[in-house]
Structure 1
Amino acid sequence: MMANHFFYSRLMKKSLEKYRILSIVVIFTVILTAFWVINIANLLQKHTRALDNIQKMILGDSYNIQLNKYDLYDEQSQCDTHLKDLTGYPECLSKIEWLRISWQTHSCYAELGVDGSECSFLRYLSEVESFCPIMDNRKFVKRRRKAQINRELKGLLDLLPEYKNHLVSNTFMRARLKRIWPDWLEGIQHYINGVNFSWPDSLDHCKHCSSDDMTCFNLCQSTKITGQPFLYGRPKLNILLHLEFLSNAFGDNLFETQVSRGGALGELVQWTDLIGALYILGHRLTITYEATNAKSLLSYSDHIPCMVKSNEYDLVYTDITGFRQLDITQIRTPLCKFRILDTFGTEAPYNRKAERWGGLHLNLQQFYTFFPHSPDNTFLGFVTEISPFKSKSNQSLSKPIALIYGKQSYMWNNKTNYLRILSDYFELHGM
């Protein structure tokens, strides 16, 4: 009898360890996904036809040469900008052409370093307005603080807006972050220990690399495991997260009123996990629910054309409704900065088709999905919580639990028999 108890205890310990490891792996996967998608240099792609047309564009009368998208060279300043790849910067060349003609229309351009040279145009459009890629000879110029891993939960909770009309969603998000924060910490430590460095001394060495030290940079890049994002030496991004689906203006606060009844929990889970991942990676976050608040953060002056205020954010995360409400023609934020949380994803025909949930005309990889529906989109996912293993004596005698995705009753029309058969074998939970 004692032997049976001994072996049963060992079995329980192994089971607990198994579930703990699974939980860490899930957290690690979400961190890796969030980190990966904000560091992919070639996220956006342009159609070949558009690139071919760019090569045929003619400059203004003062430049009687053909525009070449790969090499823009200013003989006067002897500055070789050498734009190797404009993938992901569809508006770069048109902005350069506009500046050549109009840079003297307002003094703000000169105040920001524009002097009429090709070099100054590209410095402005890459480092001030972000319409063009950073020039090769400027990539290691120290321009911003480096991101540091952030392990303080209180700072994260303080970021969540405390609006009276959003108490239910706020309570849900806070409870989730508090509950799984230990797993987040364990997951990021697992990433640090197991992915970034292949020899012990490289961690301290890379943390002290100078931003313009190419030897140090190359050495640190070589110490990471191939194919994994580098954790240290990253810029601290300024990110706006606009949760329009919780807006008071969206369907008379439809989603917010349904949170306590199971509605919109999938979206709320994913947004909460995204916020947690970006925060622990050390980025600066601003969270809004109402379009008016988001627009005020992205606004620009009609009297000062230089885009500085609306370019303070490196990335803007929102949903399809939020993208429409922000009205990009007013805020002038470059399209490449948007990331759209899109539960089911958007395929190419619907990206061009004018309808309620389509017609955004973004690059397909700017859509972040709840499930990996299509390789055309970016799979963001969410954290799956794993409950502690219960001992046999505490386990209920109820059926196994099955999760079905479809939170509204209309989604299950004509599926009664299907659900009845499932219910014979499982305790059904909707999502």
Structure 2
Amino acid sequence: MTSLGGQFSAKRLTDSPFTVRTEVLGGVESRGVLRKISDMLEVIMKRMDSLSKLENVNDSRRLEELSSAINRIQPAGLVERIQAIAQNVSNMAVRVEQILKNSMAASRVVRDGTSGQCDVPRDPRFPDCPGKVDWMRARWTSDPCYAFYGVDGSDCSFLIYLSEVEWFCPPLTWRNHSSPPVLPKSPPKRQAAFRTDLSTLLDQVGTGKESLSFMKRRIRRLASQWATAAYRLDIKLHRRWREQKKILVHVGFLTEESGDVFSPKVLKGGPLGEMVQWADILTALYVLGHNLKISMSVKELQGFLGVPPGRGSCPLTGPLPFDLIYTDYHGLQQMKQHMGLSLKKHKCHIRVIDTFGTEPAYNHEEYATLHGYRTNWGYWNLNSRQYMTMFPHTPDNSFMGFVSEELNKTEKRSIQQNKVRNMAVVYGKEASMWKGKEKFLQILHRYMEVHGTVYYETQRPPEVPAFVKNHGLLPQQELQQLLRKAKLFIGFGFPYEGPAPLEAIANGCIYLQPKFHPPHSSLNHEFFRGKPTSREVSSQHPYAEQYIGRPHVMTVDYNNSDEFEAAVQEIMRLKVEPYLPYEYTCEGMLERVHAYIQHQEFCSPEAPFPPVNASRVWPGGPFTRLPNSTLLGWAGNSTALPCWPPLSALRLMVSAEGQSCVEACQSSDLVCEPAFFRFINNKEALSKLEIQCEVVELEMNHIFPAYSVTRGECGLQKETLLFSCAGFSAKYRRICPCRDFRKGQVALCRDCL
């Protein structure tokens, strides 16, 4: 018998090149009815194909399963409908009809013999099994992927699927489980070698969208700097062996399925920060020598992951073909739709590029729902360090960053010679950003020539004052030339935390920005509402304010005319050198991403709360009293428990009431390190800090570990995903794990390479 199952599984009947006339069905049929009939016919064909391959046609169990399937899916008139469709689609469908009639006749003989029904098990270890079987009975035709895995409408096929493909039911005793499945051998590990030729990467990025063209132009422009950085980092790492990882990069926000709202705005002054970051991420991963695949559509994503045919309800057909997957929130949602239950199984491999960050209280779905932290984003139950941010907003997340163009010594000298003392460039490409800014622009105009880069097609935007020399939207290289002449780069308060201020500072400008009273957050500002963070933003660019500061960055109250004018006068007198933080150079980003790839591990199970051993993990050392905090000096070789960052970097502190661990650590020029929470979340740590506890609670609370001085209560964390550097409470003092950091590289401790 000729096998027809493969022909039908490759294409649904509704996708057939032949025209199906709905008139033959006795009236106008809905698409849903045709889809259901075609799904049923596809499943029957798969069973026919399996039956045709049986050497023993008396296999009663197989025939009984087939009979049961046909009986289940046969509403009144189904055979007549199938016959009507068959007459109109192709000669192949006529053959299918004949096979169907013959099989139904054969199945009547089986029904008169021994029954082959499967009983649904009631096993307390698999409490969801009966309910899942009921769901399959009602919905198994809702996605062709179930038929792909052999589901045919019988209880036996449901149980096989739910026990062998998914994990809701126990293994069936009559199935052959004597020999374990043969797992594919892991390929030998390969070395990652630094790359300097970016031509292959440019081909992989693709064409067809202005957003992709923008990213490719950026990659080409910075190619020589990436090559130099690769050479330097290779020497710094002593050319040590590095494992090459298989990495998938799925840029969800640029897919058509997510709307791709950015591409049309590239040439109209729209936000480019995300595309800058993604271009640099792709380049860093490629230059580091990893095996890179790039997906810009859901179809490409499905192909790379090996998604089974259908609508995404079933798990992947095999092991995850990648060590790491970089995506964004849009891509994460698309993966959820097309990976089925496999997303839960493989989510430890995912890294989410998250511009503004996701705090643990918003990330834990149950906790967020119960305590009012549920937003449109977040609630994915990832390790908080799997979220990777544009700036080091909170140490709960990993700082990914981007790069700014680095000047050589000759270029720096040239800039100093060509600076125009009284020239200012405004940070604002959209006309709407200029509304309501006339008052302080008039003050600035008394001292400086004001330039703008506001987009317009035919007519100058009326929001831009007449005294402003507007250049229109400039290509990146021309904007760089403008910044190299300007003395001042001035922000209007929006956009928040973009790459442009760093580029201006790197080109020798002083950046002037507004201070926010009160700080902007999700509680008082529409832009942050719905974002998975409670972070308070004190200025337009908190990183520039905190990590760079004077003389390169000035943050003043724009509502105070005297303060604003005094800042402009001071800027006129200052002379600054171009400055770029190391972590935003190509070498700095390569160093950081290399460390993450080689050391961050979220798939291996870890003991959440290991006991403290005073002779090994707590090697002693004096307590140093600091204002509102306690610092425990660490010494010796703390290698009892594997950890990255290494435990040698740990400094234990106690916050003030109402103070977060972020602030407590910063007060001593340290960084809160969430990876260390599991080592201090125990009674021994409280004892070492000489904290007296009448009651010790263990609960899900993003403030814990912490203690209350007035109540004599101590709280330990019950849920590892809720360890939070950002949390704070007026009633508690937090127990904070801090660490040191490399100069110019806040993401890495001194011994983290």
- TM-score, with structure 1 as normaliser: 0.54
Match of 2:215 in 1: 173
Instruction: Provide the secondary structure at the position in 2 that maps to 1:324.
Output: helix
**Partner Cα distance (1:256, 1:400) in 2:** 32
Instruction: Give deviations 1:88-131, integer Å, cap 9, x for gaps.
Output: xxxxxxx9x95995498988996852xxxxxxxxxx6xx88xxx
Q: 1:241 aligns with which of 240, 249, 252?
A: 249
Structure 1 residues 356 and 306: CA distance shift in structure 2, 3 A = closer
Determine if contact 1:109/1:306 at 8 Å carries over to the other structure: no
Distance 2:178 2:224 in 1: 48
- Does 1:257 pair with 2:235? no
Q: 1:419 to 1:356 in 2, by over 3 A?
A: farther
Deviation at 1:288, TM superposition (A): 1.6
Q: How far does residue 366 in structure 1 lie from its aligned partner after superposition?
A: 0.7
Aligned-pair CA distance for 1:350: 2.5
The answer as to whether partners of 1:399 and 1:427 remain within 8 angstroms in 2 is no
SS of corresponding position for 1:232: coil
Q: Deviations over 1:310-347 (max 9, x none)?
A: 61111111111211122267341411011111111111
Aligned equivalent of 1:150: 195
Paired position in structure 2 for 1:282 = 289
Partner residue in 2 for 1:381: 401
Equivalent residues in 2 for 1:288-307, closer than 5 Å? 288-301=295-308, 307=316
1:383 Cα deviation after fit: 0.6
Aligned to 1:186: 228
Matches within 5 A, 1:214-233: 231-233=240-242
Asked whether the 8 Å contact 1:238–1:285 carries over to 2, the reply is: yes
Q: How far apart, CA to CA, are the structure 2 residues paired with 1:98 and 1:341?
A: 31
CA offsets 1:336-374 (integer angstroms, 9 cap, x no match)? 011111111111232244322322222111111001100
Specify the code of the residue in structure 1 equivalent to 2:354.
D
Distance 1:403 1:110 in 2: 70
Q: Cα–Cα, structure 1 residues 295 and 393, in superposed 2: closer, same or farther, change >3 Å? A: closer
Larger mean Cα displacement after TM superposition, 377-386 or 99-108? 99-108
Q: Cα distance, 1:392 vs. partner? A: 6.9
Deviation at 1:142, TM superposition (A): 6.5
Structure 2 residue matching 1:346: 3-state secondary structure: coil
1:418 is displaced (CA, Å) by 6.0
Partner secondary structure for residue 332 of structure 2: helix
Counterpart amino acid of residue 264 in structure 1 = P
Superposition deviation, residue 308 in structure 1 = 5.3
2:389 to 356, 366, 369: 369
Distance (Å, rounded) in 1 between the aligned partners of 2:350 and 2:212? 24
**2:234 aligned counterpart, secondary structure:** helix
Cα 1:340–1:410 change in 2 (3 A) is: farther
Partner residue, 1:71: none
Cα distance change, pair 362–258 in 1 and its aligned pair in 2 (3 A)? same
- Which structure has the greater CA radius of gyration? 2
User: Greater relative contact order: 1 or 2 (C-alpha under 8 angstroms, separation 6 or more)?
Assistant: 1
Partners of 1:272 and 1:105 in 2: CA distance:
54
Correspondence for 2:359 among 323, 326, 347: 347
Amino acid across the alignment from 1:169:
S
Which residue in the other structure is 1:337 paired with? 349
Asked if structure 2 preserves the Cα contact closer than 8 Å seen for 1:370 and 1:379, the reply is yes
CA contact (8 A) 1:299 1:310 kept: no
The 5 Å alignment of 1:47-62 reads: none
The alpha-carbon distance between structure 1 residues 349 and 419, as it changes in their structure 2 partners (threshold 3 A), is: farther
- The 3-state SS of whatever aligns with 1:287 is strand
**Map of 1:397 onto structure 2:** 420
Quick one: which amino acid aligns to residue 395 of structure 1? Answer: N
How much has 1:155 moved relative to structure 2? Answer: 1.5
Tell me the alpha carbon deviations over residues 164-199 of structure 1, each in whole angstroms, 9 at most, x when there is no partner. Answer: 2x1x122211211111111111111111223x23xx
Question: Structure 1 residues 261, 330: closer, same or farther in 2, change over 3 A?
Answer: same
SS of equivalent to 1:391: helix
Secondary structure, counterpart of 1:254 in structure 2 = coil
Cα-to-partner distance string for 1:282-304 (whole Å, 9 max, x where unaligned)? 1111112222321332243379x
Of 344-353 and 312-321, deviating more is 344-353
SS at match of 2:256: coil
Contact 1:246/1:255 (CA < 8 Å) preserved in 2? yes
| Percent identical | 30
Q: Secondary structure at the match of 1:258?
A: helix
| Equivalent residues, number | 279
Partner in structure 1 of residue 329 of structure 2: 320
**Cα distance change of structure 1 residues 110 and 368 upon mapping to structure 2, 3 Å threshold:** farther
Greater share of helix? 1
